Structures are given as C-alpha cells and as structure tokens.
Structure 1
Amino acid sequence: MASLRVATRMFCAAAETAAAAAAAPAKSTRWERVRNSKAGVWCRSLVSDYKEACREIVVGAWGRPAKATVYVTLMGGAGACFYTNPDQSSFEAALLEHSNQLGLLSPWIRNAKSDGHIQSLVKFRNEGRLRHASLGLLSLVYWANYDTDSTLYEAQCSNLSMPWLEFHQRVLDVGFGSRWWMLDSKMQDYDMNEGEFKHLPAHMLVSSPPSVQEVETNERLHKESWLALTMEDEVEEAHVVDSYEEKVSAEPTEPVKEEQT
C-alpha cells in the first residue's frame, strides 16, 4: 500500500515536469515569434534610433555647453511664449475693462487718443467685425468688412474677401506675453486731456524742473505741516488783551457835565 502511494506520487511529479517542459518552449517560441515580426523589428529599430539620438544630444551638450545653453534658452522661451499667448477672450476682457475706466471719467478729462481708439474697438466688436488670429508665439487682432453671420453675397464670396496685401493695415493689436501691447500703449495717460492745454501761451506749456533750494523748502514746509500746533501765540495775544483792558479800566473818567437848559 505504501509502495503504491510512492509510485503514484512519482508518476504525478513526472507528469508535472513533462507538462512544464512542454509549456516552456511554446511560451518562448511565441515571444520569439512576436519579437521577430515586422512590428517588433520596427519598434526595436525606433527605440534604438531614439536611444542613439539622446546619446548624441548628451554628448554634444557636454562638448559644447554654450551652444546647448542657447538652444535650451530658445526652446524654453518659445514654450513660454506659446503658453502665455493671449486669446480672443482675454482681448475682449481687457477692452471692456479699459472701456469702463474711461466711462468713469468726464468727457472733458479723457484723453482723445485713448477714447477714440477704445470707441473704434468697441464699434468693431458690437458689429461682429473683430477677428483673432493665433500664430503660436503671438496673436493678432484685426478687423473685417462683414460679420461672420452675415449672408450677403460680398461676405460669402471668397473672391471678394480681404486681400493679404492689405492685412497689415487692418491689424488693431498684437498680443504677446499675456499682454495686448497696442491697447496698453493707447491707454497710457488716459485721464489726461491734452486739448485742455493747447490754448495756453508757450511759456506755460513748458515747465522747468525745480531747483535744489525750492525742493528743500518744499520738504521743510511739508515736514512742518505735520507738527503739532502750539498755543503760545494765542496765550500771548490773550495776555496783551488783558493788559490793555486793565489799563483802560485804571484810567480816571471825567464827569459828564449836564447841559444847562
């Protein structure tokens, strides 16, 4: 009975070993078949090419650090410009913000250049004629002849569209580095109306810088304006008034003579 059990175990172990030996070549053969296929050869060659290119980049950067620094700087700057490239929504938000700033001022205070530029942009926006073009590193805002939803023949015909030679005349703003440069330039001194001073004489249009003595005097007066007030002058004035009243009261008064009737 014991010998039968031992024989059974030996037979099972031999069967398991034979099954494992039969399965191992089949698995390795399948992997070898996939590796040697066209797709496997192409993937291995692609990985080898990338590996060689990376090795050459590292070796070249180590041999020429200045050139590698310039390339990395240019690539980083291009990536930053692409990431901070403003879109059309940012332009409309900036336009509305500047329009509200001008709306809070009186027409007599607004700068004529700032007001005219903002009013023209708002007009193009309300008419649907503002266009935005992204060039990757920067953006352009220009005006078109018709709205995008217009169904007129002139608006739909491609032969009557805007010629490219006139494109530079239609550019309204340039966006770069999260800023709209022409819009910010037009809004400088937007609360200063230069027309108010054009009727002044020539000698009042030019102001000379103050001298050193004038600056020192102004600073001294400014510091003295912050000092606490003293009551010495008032006390002295009150003392003079009191002494004058005592003097007047001490003088003898002449009797008033009655008129004889």
Structure 2
Amino acid sequence: MATYFVTRRLFSAAATGQTTRWERFRNSKAGVWWSGLFSDYKEAVREVGVGIWQRPVKSSFYIGLLGGAWACIYTQPDKTSFETHLLDVSNKLGLLSPWIRSETSDQHVLNLVKLRNEGRLRHINLGLVALTFCADYDPEADLYEAQCSYLSIPWRSLPQRVLDVGFVGRWWILDSKMKDYDVNNAEFKNLPVHMQTTQPPNVREVETIEKLHKDSWLPVQMENDQENNI
C-alpha cells in the first residue's frame, strides 16, 4: 500500500513538472512566436479552403498550373540523359550506309559529338526547361581564356549558342533533327520534279493495287486458240 502511494506521488509530481514546463514555454517569447506562426498558417489554410469552395473553376485552373509545373520539373531531362540520347542516335546513324543517311541528321549529330569530345557542351537548368549550349573552351583546359571568370559567356549571347531544349523528358531539337534520319533527299535531286515528292495513294488506288496483287496469285488462263495449237 505504501508503494502505491509513493508511485502515485511520483507520477503526480512528474505531471505537475511537465505542465509547469509547458506553461513556461507557452508564455516565453519562443512559445508566443510559434503560437502566432501556427495561427497564421491555420488561418491561411482556412482561407485557401474557403476560396476553393467559392471559386472551384478558378481554383482548378491554378491547381492544374501548379500540377503541370511540378510535372515539368519532375520530368526535366539532365545532362546525362542528353549525352545518352546523343550516343544512341549516333549509333543508329552508324548502322546506316552513308548513302542513305539524312544529311541534316548526320551533320547535326556529328557537330554535337565533336563538341562533346572537345568538352564544350554545357547544361543549364531553368526550372521548367533545360538548355544545352556550347562554350568556347573545355573548363579543364589550362588556358587563361578558359579559367578567367571575366571572359565567361555573356548571357546575351546564350540564345545563339543554344543547341537543344529539354522539356517533359525530351530533347526536342535533337528529336526533330532525327526525323526521317534514314532518308537521304540528295538521292532524289536528279529525278524529275513530279517524282521528287510522293503522296499517299487514295482508296481507289489502294483497292486497285490489292486486286492486281491477288490476281497475280491466280493460275494463268490460256485461250482456246492457244490450246488447239498446242
């Protein structure tokens, strides 16, 4: 019984001490500051909830913008992805004969590979988009022009140096240059003008071609005069 009263007194003293320390913290400057900060955030969250309830269309628009911006930032490609993509398309072009490669794709990729080997490719993160541009020197080169910060690339010349734009997980300029990379337009420059461009056939032409193809499988029918001669 004596043990019970001693234990109860100890717990009561501990609770009283904790309550006293909590009251002291609430009444201190730090406690008042944190309490005011919590009240401000609570009021701000309440106002946001009221605004969403009163203007659902406008709120949905802003939420969509925030979600789109977050998706762009999350899927933004980095420097490693650009170099990996560059090596991938370079290997694709290397598997083709020089006679059938697209001149536009080949020259663009060769220029990027040359800049990469020289260490002149740079990557910059602008939040929603990423840019790849070329510099004048390799940052590891022991040249005064390469190491002096006063001779670095001015921002006004950046638009002329941009090589690619990374957005939503893609490098758009490189992908556009690789369109029809296995078609060399120089092969058709000596053809007549009407043969240099092609158009998809219409429905009637497709039906005619399919009929001729099916007819080519049929056995040859000989006329009666030819049979009599035989």
| Same fold? TM cut 0.5 | yes
Equivalent in the alignment of 1:117: 108
Cα RMSD of the aligned pairs, angstroms, is 2.8
- Give, in angstroms, the shift of residue 51 of structure 1: 0.9
1:190 equivalent to 2:190? Answer no
Equivalent in the alignment of 1:77: 68
The 5 A counterparts of 1:20-39 are 25-39=16-30
**Correspondence for 1:41 among 21, 32, 38:** 32
Code of the residue aligned with 1:48 in structure 2: it is: S
Q: TM-score, normalised by structure 2?
A: 0.87
Query: What's the secondary structure of 1:69's corresponding residue?
Result: helix
Q: Distance in 2 between matches of 1:182 and 1:14?
A: 81
- For residues 4-29 of structure 1, the C-alpha deviation after alignment (integer angstroms, 9 at most, x for no partner) is xxxxx6x8877777766666544422
Equivalent in the alignment of 2:169: 178
Query: What's the secondary structure of 1:142's corresponding residue?
Result: strand
Distance change (3 Å), C-alpha of 1:19 and 1:74: closer
Equivalent in the alignment of 1:253: none
Code of the residue aligned with 2:119 in structure 1: it is: G
Equivalent in the alignment of 1:214: 205
Equivalent in the alignment of 2:154: 163
Query: What's the secondary structure of 2:165's corresponding residue?
Result: strand
Q: Distance in 1 between matches of 2:178 and 2:3?
A: 92
Q: Distance in 1 between matches of 2:145 and 2:105?
A: 32
Which protein has the larger Cα radius of gyration, Structure 1 or Structure 2? 1
Which ranges in structure 1 are unaligned for 5 or more consecutive residues? 1-8, 245-261
Q: Distance in 1 between matches of 2:151 and 2:124?
A: 20
Q: Distance in 2 between matches of 1:124 and 1:99?
A: 14
Which ranges in structure 2 are unaligned for 5 or more consecutive residues? none
Query: What's the secondary structure of 1:150's corresponding residue?
Result: coil
Q: TM-score, normalised by structure 1?
A: 0.77
Q: Distance in 2 between matches of 1:17 and 1:172?
A: 76
Query: Alignment length, in residue pairs?
Result: 228
Residue identity (%): 57
Query: What's the secondary structure of 2:52's corresponding residue?
Result: helix
- Give, in angstroms, the shift of residue 30 of structure 1: 2.2
Bigger CA drift: 37-46 or 191-200? 37-46
Query: What's the secondary structure of 1:168's corresponding residue?
Result: helix
